[in-house]
A and B are shown apart, each in its own frame.
Chain A
Amino acid sequence: MQLTINGKPRNFDVITLSVENLVASLNLEGKRLAIECNGEIVPRSQFSVTQLVEGDQLEIVGAVGGG
């Protein structure tokens, strides 16, 4: 399955993947982040029950220094 994450294509050896599994596979567990899938926010409480499918476009964001 191919997903686009933060603008870059990434391949996963599975047919489907929960957002929770995705976060773990990207080594982002425990990080404070927010995720948008195809332009819709996925609330943190829904990570485990939201399944991703081929072609999903994801934005994973965090807080950084800024004015």
Chain B
Amino acid sequence: MSDLLKIAGKTYQSRLLVGTGKYQDFAQTRAAIDASGAEIVTVAIRRTNIGQTAGEPSLLDFLPPEEFTYLPNTAGCYSADDAVRTLRLARELLDGHKLVKLEVLGDPNTLYPNMIETIAAAKVLVKDGFDVMVYCSDDPIIAKQLEDIGCCAVMPLASLIGSGMGILNPWNLQIIIANANIPVLVDAGVGTASDAAIAMELGCQGVLMNTAIAAARDPVLMASAMKKAVEAGREAYLAGRMPKKLYSASPSSPTTGLIK
């Protein structure tokens, strides 16, 4: 069965998108990403370390851009202007690459998104030709506005970035998914495999995570668990779950032919 994730006209086998931060080293980053099966990986844009030695390895040596679809983010940006500036640099850095993850934060303690600045940035970026996957609050009205602006995917939080608290408001996610004509991916807050499976069972097109894998005791094993969880959740969604029935038992075995 062909069930591909389609974002901005390109298709992907994997519905798990992963970050590349917080790993022990680049070798562990690579091993975890291989285990996750992810094809889209997020990266941050930061000032180059000027003093570094010429032969020092970089993230790109371990994750060649020819092998993965890079998703440069605007982590750490608190204004629309900073986010737009960062992604224009990212586009130059990655040879005209258009697919980006927009996130404009509102508060350093919670990393909760500032949706007013996010919307302002999204308008500029879409007009500028970017394919914008946008990190957002789980507000269905905001999500719809981001779609109307022309974003190629909305990515509501399950819970706060790096919190591992899981899916706190499945009902809002369901409304967002039901209203959307573009992919909805859960981004942020997933803590363990069951959280990822639940997101997919709700009908999300994919899940983006970083800390849940990188901060696990064994990141590579957790990456493998997440791969399976996303696949299992997707299949369960497509299969259509049985209705829940309270106090109306229905045995799976025949009720006839019992020995007397």
Interface residues of A (CB under 8 A from B): 5-8, 26-29, 31-34, 36, 39, 41, 43-44, 59-67
Contact = CB atoms under 8 A, between A and B. Distances in A.
Q: How large is the interface on B (under 10, 10 to 19, 20 to 34, 35 or more residues)?
A: 35 or more
Nearest to B29: A65
A33 B44 contact: no
Query: Is chain B's interface secondary structure helix, strand, loop, or mixed overall?
Result: mixed
A36 B72 CA distance: 17
Enumerate the 8 nearest inter-chain pairs by beta-carbon distance, A residue then B residue, closest first. Answer: A66-B44, A67-B19, A67-B210, A34-B93, A34-B92, A65-B20, A65-B21, A6-B47
Contacts of A61: 45-48, 89, 93
A31 B58 contact: yes
A5 to B, nearest CB: 6
Contacts, number: 102
A53 to B, nearest CB: 20
B251 to A, nearest CB: 47
Given A27-B54, A67-B161, A62 B48 contact: yes
A67 B103 CA distance: 10
Given A63-B45, A65-B20, A67-B211, 14 more contacts: A6-B47, A6-B50, A7-B47, A28-B50, A34-B92, A60-B48, A62-B45, A62-B46, A63-B70, A63-B94, A64-B46, A65-B29, A65-B44, A67-B20
Interface in B67-101: 70, 72-73, 75, 85, 88-90, 92-94
A64 B50 contact: no
Contacts of B59: 63-65
Contact of A59 (B42, B47, B188): B47
A33 B23 contact: no
A6 B46 CA distance: 10
Nearest to A63: B43
